[in-house]
Structure 1
Amino acid sequence: MALSTTDVDISAIKPGQSVTVVWRGKPVFVRHRLPEEIADAAKVNTADLREPETDTQRAKKPEWLVLIGVCTHLGCVPLGQKPADPKGEFGGWFCPCHGSHYDTSGRIRKGPAPSNLPVPPYQFTTDTTVRIG
C-alpha cells in the first residue's frame, strides 16, 4: 500500500473544473485552473503567508493543481470542488467546520489551519494522465 499509485485521466476536465479522486484512502483534488486563478495565485506575496510557498512550488504545470483534500486543522474535507460550493475569501477552498480559507494554490490564508493543503507526489505520465503516488 505504501507504494500505491492512482492514475487520473484529466482529458475530460474542462478549465475551471475540479475532480476528486482517492489515493491511499484520502481525497485528492485535481483542478484544471483558469488563467485568472493562476494569476491570483502567482501575485500573492509569500511573505504574508503562514506557510510561504510560491504557486510554482505547488503546481508542476500552472493549469493543473493536485492537492490532498484534507484540511490541515482537524482533517475535514474542505468545500470548493463543486461549482456551487463556497470557495472562501480567496477563491480556492473553504472548510466550514472552523473557517479555514485556502487560495487558488491551496495555501492557507485565513482561519485555524496551520499549513497549506499538502501536494502529494505526482507526475504527468502523458499529456492526459496524472499519476499520484
Structure 2
Amino acid sequence: MAVLLKNYNIFTTEVTFLLKFPDSKVVQPGQSLTISCQVSGYSLTDDSYATGWIRQREGKPMDWIFHQWGGGTLRQNDALKNKFSYSRDTSAGTVTITGQNLQPEDTAVYYCVRMHHSDTNKHKPGQKLSS
C-alpha cells in the first residue's frame, strides 16, 4: 500500500484521500489500535476544511467514521461513536483515530481524509459518506 491522493465527490463535498496506510496492522479481537495521520498543505484550524476518517471494508459500502471542521465542530457516525475516538493536535498537524474492542468485522482499509465544500453545506448534521 502507498500514499493515495484522490478526489471523491460525495453530496457535493470534495473529499481528498490524504493517506492509505502503508503497512498492515494486525490486532487480536478485543484489542485497540491507534493510527495517526499528518496533514500538509492546509491548517487543521482552517474552517474551510474538515479532516476525518473513513473506512472501506471488503464488499461493503464505505463507512464514514467522523470528521472535524477547523473551527472545532465534530461530526460522528452514531453507529460507530462507541467504537472509535478521534483527536487532533493542531500544532503538529496530526489527526488520530483509536479503535477500541476491535473485532474481525472492523477489518478494513482506513483512510485519513480532507473535506472541503461551500459554507452553505458545511454543517449539515447527520451527513453520511458512502460510495
TM norm structure 2: 0.30
Q: Which has the higher contact order (CA 8 A, sep 6+)?
A: 2
Higher strand proportion, which one?
Answer: 2
Higher helix proportion, which one?
Answer: 1
